[in-house]
Chains A and B, each alone.
Chain A
């Protein structure tokens, strides 16, 4: 479903991705962990075509280096801050793609589908006419999640899904992601620093360190490995091989 080989990306002299290679099969959930500024979001943006990779091969749902508009039918994305459109009410945010393009639905049908997706993420129909600014952070994440799954895409990307949320809300979002990924049979990539997300969402874990997938394994292995880099990161130690000033 997703094949990436020797992916490289640099900004000026700063090499961010230095030969990322991995394959992700249908229905697999990969969680990518790594320190701030190590290129996790850049990796997702390269996969989505929002950033142009300097080198390497990206194949998603059978398409080589697809453009963002070609990806829309295949990929749903939950952005870190939700990235909801301020000028549109919640239901139009969720149904954004369904209301536009050659295969667009009628307004009533799109609204019905949006309300259905909102219900799937635990939000009632009374939310659908509110604007994003009227929602709490947790509700915005849920709306972003509803928008990501609105077109039933076979691939889902989540960028820091629990960032800025309290532990209870973070657990709720993690559980929702796991349920939705499982019931849709979707292939998922989640970027996170949150060890709870790692435990709840991952089939596989990859540690992005110095531009490469430094370590890969299961969630249990990630939390019990003897590797010093992994231990420092997963246990949040201030001393170890990962510099704290970066």
Chain B
């Protein structure tokens, strides 16, 4: 009986702890967003973060998309050949890239690159009293550190997704033409004819949401980092894990919202 009670107790404490964590995370997000409507704004920090998060993530997002597009074309070809439906390879590759794989894999790669670096940078700033120093210099850290990163990631991710989509389709095209015997112009015509505006736009909206979640996670865990190298390491790990889980769960919810019958 005692063991059962202690099991219930431990489960209850875990659930309560998790709910408290979710509450703090949501409150942190609300405070960060509220700074968008209150001056001062730090334009230089925002521009720097656009470069850091957007421009410098292009290589990793582009390479991920290129190989994913190629692999997707191969898989769809192998599957569709069973039903003599090989003609569908260009359109399904394109739709798969822009609706799902472009935003999700791009988001996960940016989570690995950006959430970790934000959490490590802000965590180190906290440990070395730089956050306290900001406050004593009349600068609100949420406004100076968090808002520019969240805003930059939210705006940069849709562009990254769009670029990733184009490169992914190009990867599918390259494999389709060079390995699967498709005619180049026909492949491109099939891709363009079957893609609809909302296919592309929905992926970009997902990108914006994922960008917001990635930067939010990095900032939250950085700001709540524990002491020392271990604390910063833990914050970095949590930022990437939570950002990745949030991306995958938000992706499901957004897909339900956008495409369920």
Count of chain B residues with a beta carbon within 8 Å of a chain A beta carbon: 16
Q: What B residues does A75 contact at CB under 8 A?
A: 136
Say which residue of A71, A73, A81 sits within 8 Å of B128 (CB atoms): A81
What 0/1 pattern do residues 108 to 129 of B give for CB contact below 8 A with A? 0000000000000000110011
CB pair B136 A68 closer than 8 Å: yes
C-alpha spacing A147/B128, complex, angstroms: 16
Closest to B48 in A: A87
Pair A85/B130 contact, Cβ less than 8 Å:
yes
Per the bound structure, the CA–CA distance linking A224 and B139 in Å amounts to 44
Is B138 touching A97 in the complex (CB atoms < 8 A)?
yes
When chains A and B are docked, how far (Å) is the Cα of A71 from the Cα of B140?
A: 13
What separation, in Å, do the CA atoms of A180 and B16 have in the docked complex? 53
A71 touches B40 (CB 8 A): no
Say whether B137 contacts A97, CB under 8 Å.
yes
A50-B132, A72-B138, A84-B133 known; 19 new pairs, CB 8 Å cut-off, are: A45-B132, A48-B135, A69-B140, A72-B137, A73-B138, A75-B136, A77-B133, A79-B132, A79-B133, A81-B129, A83-B128, A83-B132, A85-B134, A86-B125, A86-B130, A96-B139, A97-B137, A100-B40, A101-B40
Give me 15 A-to-B residue pairs in the complex whose CB atoms sit less than 8 angstroms apart, sorted by A's number.
Answer: A48-B135, A49-B135, A50-B136, A69-B138, A72-B136, A79-B133, A81-B129, A83-B130, A83-B132, A85-B134, A96-B137, A100-B40, A101-B40, A101-B138, A147-B137
Spell out B's residues near A (CB within 8 Å).
40, 42, 124-125, 128-130, 132-140
* Interface residue ranges, A against B (CB under 8 Å): 45, 48-50, 68-69, 71-73, 75, 77, 79-81, 83-86, 96-97, 100-102, 147
